[in-house]
Amino acid sequence: MRRRTFNLEAYLFVAPPFAFFVLFIVYPLVRNALYSFTDFRLTNLHAAPFVGLDNYVRVLEDPVFWISIRNVLIYGAISVPGQIAIGFAIAFVLDRRIAGVRLFRTLYFIPVITSWVVASLIFKFIFTDRGLLNYVLSDVLHLTGEPISWLSTPLYAMIVLSLLGIWKGTGWVMVMYLAALQNVPKDLYEAAAMDGATVPQSVRYITLPAVREMTGFVQIMLIIGAFNVFTSVYLVTDGGPLNQTEVMLTWMYRQAFGHYDLGYASALSFLFAIPIGLLTWVRFRLTERSGT
Amino acid sequence: MNRPYQRNHDQRNTRSYRTQAALLVVLIALLLSACGNGGNGGNSESSGNGNAAGSASSAAGGASATKPAKDVKLVFWHHYSAASPEEKTLTETLIPKFEQDNPGIKVEAVAFTWEDLHKKLQVAGSTNDLPDVARLDIIWVPELQRSNWLVPLDETFADFGNTTSGLLEGPVSTAKVGEHYYGLPLNTNTKVLFWNEDMLKQAGLSQPPTTTDEFFSALEAVKTANPNAWGYGEPGLYGWNVLPWIWSNGGDVLSPDMSTADGYLNSADSIAIVARLQQAYQGNKLAGFKPGDVPVTEGHAKGSYALIAEGPWAVAQFQGQFTDYKARMVSFPAGKAGSVQVLGGEDIGITNTRHQEESWKFLQFMTSEYAQVEMGKVGQIPVNLAAMDNAEIKAIDYFAPFLEQLKTAKARPPVPAWPQIDEIINTTMSKIFLKNSDVKTELDDAVKQIDALLHA
């Protein structure tokens, strides 16, 4: 049995990061919580009258809030499975000693280290009405007469943004799976092959169960990442037209720094935290129950 | 015996580590707004500190403002364009000349975009970090005056009347709120119709449209001749963009006493012209304001939009970026109420600074013939009478159509709530065009929202 003792050295070691944590995370969080109950505006920093749950009511009655939730769900539903499937496939192919494997791994990882701003502007250039894609579709392949409005049709725009998310995040998923695949015993494959298993069967019954833990981790990180999508939306559609492509963070940003409505934006941030928190909790419960 | 324990232990560690990691990510997500806020605050503080330090030292060093021991530093916030030669003229020609003429006064010019300057002034105003002098879009003056951030110039400076007597009357009135004047005009502008000669010729038109009816038939002709082009390009749906259409057709946004929008923004004339534009948009004959559209000025020079309505700065852009294209201008198409464009322009105002006398000198300099001619040469239409008669300004041929259009140009209503009203107009028009909503229903709804703002 361990005895609890007061260990000064340990506390001293913990103190600096803890102070940092309190100053930069706990304190702003608490202030943010307080702001969410006040009518606090950037244009009048001296007065922040208490308004109770008014901000929360306004958020829930705001149609754009629900649009932003819907868009995040569309974004997540496309980009999360997309990144996992493609990232896993690439990792599976590159998890062997073949010529040029390092080069390919590096190439697939490049989008991850590319700036979101650069990637977003390039996607915007490709998908504008007179952009590269419409040029190829109508002038080269003659598939459409009228250019397709990718960025001003809300569903198309969300698909474009999801594609950008997939392009940008697949390399990270690949690296994660490459690490996990190192731990899959190779003799299992040999045994399976001897029993006449095909490659898809090996993947289904050996690889996927062996990397399940990693899949869980990647999934939760990508879902949280999807909820936090901001830069690409801000730069490609800016939430337009008519707030139809607004996501949670762009809407929060617009309320705070476009409309200066800090109280409302604070309430938004807490409401947005609920689904993220719930998802995280559910995911960890599932992991615990599965006992892996 | 040892191994299961260890595995369990490791797992728990991994789990709690991952819980923490996940928690951290959630927290960071929550903090996004708080961080951004801190950044902004820091910014304005730094310029404010400089300001405060400057005034403290001058107060301590000199007995009176007339002979400061140290240089007085004026902070001047502006939105002169850095992409065109405007900012260069300000910092390399005008400010050095002012400092040379006024020893003991230094000017620190800080450039913002139009949008950022508006935000920055509001935030700085509420934290007492305003600059000494600021360039103001004429539509911001009532809003800033209501917050008591601007000095009434006519009450504060005895030679106000002398100064304004040398300036154009219309622009001077843009800084008047109630009984007093809260700025001097810096420059004036409006928009005219630019027409792409090649595109119209291709559509069988030798002349640009001069009436609304001709305009809509020109859209038709351009579409028939070139299905990939648009007859008209409009970069936005704000008051700046749509009011000229409504005004020229006899409609308006607010009543003359500015107490209501009912019967004005939703009048039969307003509805008729908006519905006509909506129809043209549905026929794919006008574009430019939705995400993904070809940028309007560029698209005009490069053959996407046959007609656009733009200000004098577009000429500078054509000359700089599209040298093969020759800009052609004509008055905005006349409706039944004539050719009524929107009056634009900037004023320059003084905040509640300690350096009011020095700031006033800078205002007088910026509206002097010399400064106005220099700015005129880079596309800013002067408001100084002597500058208007200056040979160098008269030699700028592209000012002529703008000066003609200015005669009938109309100002957006000078109400403090204008920025919010402008947002309502933008949203309403977006619904009408992008969602093809019923014009009357949407305008009626906009009127309700605007009236609520006016009576708030």
Q: What's the mean pLDDT when you consider all of chain B? A: 85
Percent share of chain A, pLDDT over 90:
49
B325 & B220 share domain: yes
CATH number of A55-290: 1.10.3720.10
Instruction: Give domain limits for chain A.
Output: 55-290
Å between B290 CA and nearest CA of chain A: 6
Structure tokens at B304: 């996407």
* Bridge partners, B188 (sequence order): B345, B381
What is the rounded average pLDDT of the residues A274-289? 78
Q: With an 8 Å Cβ cutoff, is B226 touching chain A?
A: no
B296 & B216 share domain: yes
Is the pLDDT at B64 greater than 80, yes or no?
no
What does the pLDDT look like over A1-36, one tens digit per residue?
556 677 888 889 999 999 999 999 999 999 999 999
> Is B291's CB within 8 Å of A152's CB?
yes
* Bridge partners, B287 (sequence order): B233
Percent share of chain B, pLDDT over 70:
85
Q: How confident is the model at residue B362 (pLDDT cuts 50, 70, 90)?
A: very high
Residue B69 lies in a domain: yes
Q: Which of A62-76, B55-69, B125-139, B331-345 shows the lowest mean pLDDT across its residues?
A: B55-69
B209 & B326 share domain: yes
Q: What's the mean pLDDT when you consider all of chain A? A: 88
B376 & B249 share domain: no
B84 & B123 share domain: yes
Is the pLDDT at A98 greater than 50, yes or no?
yes
Cα B177–Cα B180–Cα B182 angle in degrees, nearest 5: 70
Closest residue in chain A to residue B419, using alpha carbons only: A259
B300 and B196 Cβ atoms separated by less than 8 Å: yes
Q: Which of B70-74, B269-273, B278-282 shows the lowest mean pLDDT across its residues?
A: B70-74
> Is A151's CB within 8 Å of B27's CB?
no
What does the pLDDT look like over B416-455, one tens digit per residue?
888 889 999 999 999 999 989 999 999 999 999 999 999 9
> Is B33's CB within 8 Å of A253's CB?
yes
* Bridge partners, B330 (sequence order): B193
The whole-angstrom separation of Cα B163 and Cα B279 is: 49
Q: Which residue among B19, B26, B434 sits closest to A241, beta carbon to beta carbon?
A: B434
> Is B30's CB within 8 Å of A240's CB?
no
pLDDT at residue B119, as a whole number = 87
What does the pLDDT look like over B102-158, one tens digit per residue?
999 999 999 999 888 998 998 888 888 899 999 999 999 998 998 899 999 999 999
B217 & B305 share domain: yes
Percent share of chain A, pLDDT over 70:
97
> Is A29's CB within 8 Å of B35's CB?
no
Q: What is the CATH number of the domain that holds B89?
A: 3.40.190.10
Count of pairs with CB atoms under 8 A, one residue in A, one in B: 123
Residue A67 with chain B: CB contacts under 8 Å: none
Q: Which of A102-106, B30-34, B278-282 shows the lowest mean pLDDT across its residues?
A: B30-34
Residue B120 lies in a domain: yes
Q: How confident is the model at residue B60 (pLDDT cuts 50, 70, 90)?
A: very low
Identify the residue among A134, A224, A279 best suited for mutation to test binding to B, counting B beta carbons within 10 A and taking the highest.
A224
B297 & B371 share domain: no
The whole-angstrom separation of Cα A268 and Cα B115 is: 24
B165 & B223 share domain: no
Structure tokens at B300: 């005009």
pLDDT at residue B328, as a whole number = 94
Residue A245 with chain B: CB contacts under 8 Å: 291
What does the pLDDT look like over B220-276, one tens digit per residue?
999 999 988 999 999 999 999 999 999 999 999 999 999 999 999 999 999 999 999
The whole-angstrom separation of Cα B234 and Cα B296 is: 7
pLDDT at residue A1, as a whole number = 54
Residue B209 lies in a domain: yes
Residue B10 lies in a domain: no
Model ipTM over 0.85? no
B211 & B161 share domain: no
Residue B303 lies in a domain: yes
What is the rounded average pLDDT of the residues A113-137? 90
Is the pLDDT at B92 greater than 50, yes or no?
yes
Closest residue in chain B to residue A220, using alpha carbons only: B22
Residue B445: CB atoms within 10 A of its CB come to 17
The pTM score is 0.76
Q: How far is CA B299 from the centre of its chain?
A: 21
Cis before residue B209, ω within 30 degrees of 0?
no
What is the rounded average pLDDT of the residues B275-300? 92
Q: Which amino acid is at B340?
A: V
Q: Which residue among A149, A265, A277 sits closest to B33, beta carbon to beta carbon?
A: A265
The whole-angstrom separation of Cα B255 and Cα B368 is: 36
What does the pLDDT look like over B153-189, one tens digit per residue?
999 999 999 999 999 888 898 899 989 999 999 999 9
B156 & B200 share domain: no
Residue B256 lies in a domain: yes
Q: How confident is the model at residue A129 (pLDDT cuts 50, 70, 90)?
A: confident
pLDDT at residue B14, as a whole number = 44
Burial bucket for residue B164 (CB in 10 Å: 0-12, 13-18, 19+): buried
Residue B107 lies in a domain: yes
pLDDT at residue B38, as a whole number = 36
Is the pLDDT at A163 greater than 90, yes or no?
yes
B341 and B239 Cβ atoms separated by less than 8 Å: no
Is the pLDDT at B48 greater than 50, yes or no?
no
The whole-angstrom separation of Cα A79 and Cα B399 is: 53
Structure tokens at B155: 């009450």
Is the pLDDT at B43 greater than 80, yes or no?
no
Q: How confident is the model at residue B33 (pLDDT cuts 50, 70, 90)?
A: very low
B228 & B143 share domain: no
Is the pLDDT at B77 greater than 50, yes or no?
yes
B283 & B196 share domain: yes
The domain of B231 spans 192-342+417-454
Domains identified in chain B, total number: 2
Q: With an 8 Å Cβ cutoff, is B201 touching chain A?
A: no
pLDDT at residue A289, as a whole number = 64
Q: Which residue has better confidence, A42 or B329? A: B329
Q: Which residue among A129, A146, A224 sits closest to B22, beta carbon to beta carbon?
A: A224
> Is A277's CB within 8 Å of B26's CB?
yes
